[in-house]
A and B are shown apart, each in its own frame.
Chain A
Amino acid sequence: MRRYLGIGDNIAVLEWNDSRLGGFMPYLFRPWEIDQPGDTDVAVFRADMNGAGIRLDLPGKTVACPDERMAALELEYALTMYAQAQLDDHVQVHGACFGTESGCVLIVGTHGIGKTTLALSAISQGLYALSDDICPFDHDMRHLLGFPRPFKVAVDILAMNPCPVPVDCPSFYATADITYVFTHEPPGKYCADRLPLRHILFPNRRPGPVAFEQMGQTEAMQLLLTQGFNYVDRDSLDLARTLLGVLIQAPPLRFGYGDSFEAADAIRDLLT
């Protein structure tokens, strides 16, 4: 079994030899799937199930996995790293991104503040997901691109009532901390390929009603650099100049909320 993915200017091929790997192999980065290319170099990601487990042949290394769960973790990680490298000429922000046909918001905040839960809540309220964790800008720096990596959802989110995960999104349990939820399935229902950025939101979790508050560029820039980028990029003056243009066309807002479903509703109203 084989699938080709077009990522940036390059092509990756996913191959697997056993239908028991069908719980995740067919879904990995599916929006990027393309027809079989002609005579061109491809990066190979191959999973061979045998009596000893699963052997993964990945670009630059081979990994022996005892079961499908470990294989899924290794494959997703390798594909994500490969995809990020192919999109290296795009500014990539750590955050979550979702929206409507009219535009999207970029949520930037510290680890654990609830970006994934908020994004899932938004999807269950009818908004489109673009990405969770890795949010690439288009070259025009006005649109964000979909990065169809599966959402990594912990058991406490799955246990929420109501649960923010749509029931018709395929999922694959890997560990207690990671159930992969493929929000780009069914195709076109819960995800978008590219949307214009309307606002950058900096969440503040606290009890009470949802509230948006204007922010100055200085505070927003400081938060964006420290929470949205790695230690190397956050000291790049060129990046700061580029991001200033983004802050001008997508005004930053401080965003207080307690309930993620109410927050998602408020964001949809904000985008109207």
Chain B
Amino acid sequence: MDRTFIPRVIDPAAIVEMDDGVIVRIGDTLHTFNSTGCEIIELFDGARTIGDIIEVMVARYPDDDQVAPAVEAFFDELENLNMLNRSE
């Protein structure tokens, strides 16, 4: 996982927020994310790298030593689904 990768901002018009997650339209497909995934996606601002995002999440949940691997796994999943678009 290239932690210098900067994920592109997701168009708010492509998002439907729910009480415990979010649906995102990427390409022709809808993808569903739980509240943690939603929190990570909200950090896509076109400037933060994956490494920055991991640091933010770790800082939010300092008592949870699984945060960093979980966030990395999330990005791996996005990459496997061809959903990671680099910011211009």
Contact = CB atoms under 8 A, between A and B. Distances in A.
Contact of A237 (B18, B19, B25, B33): B25
Contacts of B14: 237
B57 interface: no
Contacts of A244: 16, 18
Chain A contact residues (Cβ within 8 angstroms of B): what range? 10 to 19
A217 B30 contact: no
Contact of B34 (A218, A235, A236, A240): A218
A237 B32 contact: no
A216 B19 contact: yes
B29 interface: yes
Interface string B67-78: 000000000000
A235 B32 contact: no
Interface string B9-30: 0000010101111110100111
B20 A216 contact: yes
Interface of A: 216-218, 221-222, 225, 234-237, 240-241, 244, 247
A221 B15 CA distance: 13
Contacts of A222: 32
A222 B14 CA distance: 16
A218 B18 contact: yes
Contacts of B19: 216-218
5 contacts: A217-B18, A217-B20, A218-B19, A221-B23, A222-B32
A234 B18 contact: no
A51 B84 CA distance: 66
Interface residues of B, number: 16
Contacts of A234: 30
A216 B28 contact: no
Contacts of A217: 18-21
A235 B29 contact: yes
Contacts of A216: 18-21
| A217, A222, A244 — most chain B CB neighbours (10 Å) | A217
A218 B35 CA distance: 9
Contacts of B23: 218, 221, 237, 240
A240 B30 contact: yes
| B14, B23, B32 — most chain A CB neighbours (10 Å) | B23
Closest 9 CB pairs of A and B: A218-B21, A217-B18, A216-B20, A237-B25, A222-B32, A217-B19, A240-B16, A235-B30, A218-B20
Interface string B28-67: 1110111100000000000000000000000000000000
Contacts of B25: 235, 237
B18 to A, nearest CB: 4
A244 B30 CA distance: 14
B28 A241 contact: no
